């Protein structure tokens, strides 16, 4: 399996400005990944629950630290589900988010 794509895993933290507004602070880490399409059966099953899975990225398990988002090709995706495989890799099931 070739990890031929680069994704940015995004950690999200919140801070407050001087008047108390919540500000989202994003911290990105790049890693190599294998991009896959969502299986048809999974797509339709998720659609019945109101979800719209778009892509699956496979990375090494030790690279993932629970980040809720990732960026690929300039587009931000929410990580909706993960699956830890027996071969020390983890699947990140992603859905595009409008506005990040």
CA distance 70 to 35: 12
Output the pLDDT for position 69: 96
Set out the domains of the chain in order of their start, with CATH numbers: 5-96 (2.40.10.270)
Closest CA to 53 of 71, 33, 36, 74: 36
Per-residue pLDDT of the chain (100 residues; tens, 9 = 90+): 799 999 999 999 999 999 989 999 999 999 999 999 877 667 666 666 666 768 999 999 999 999 999 999 999 999 999 999 999 999 999 987 655 4
Closest CA to 64 of 4, 16, 8: 8
Bridge partners (DSSP) of residue 9 are: 29, 70
pTM confidence score: 0.82
């Amino acid at each position: 399996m070739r990890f031929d794509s680069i994704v940015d895993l995004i950690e999200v933290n919140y801070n407050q400005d001087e008047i108390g507004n919540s500000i989202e602070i994003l911290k990105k880490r790049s890693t190599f990944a294998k991009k896959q399409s969502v299986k048809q059966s999974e797509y339709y099953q998720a659609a019945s629950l109101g979800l719209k899975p778009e892509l699956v990225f496979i990375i090494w398990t030790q690279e993932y630290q629970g980040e809720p988002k990732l960026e690929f090709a300039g587009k931000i995706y929410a990580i909706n589900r993960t699956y830890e495989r027996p071969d020390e890799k983890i699947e990140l099931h992603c859905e595009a988010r409008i506005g990040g």
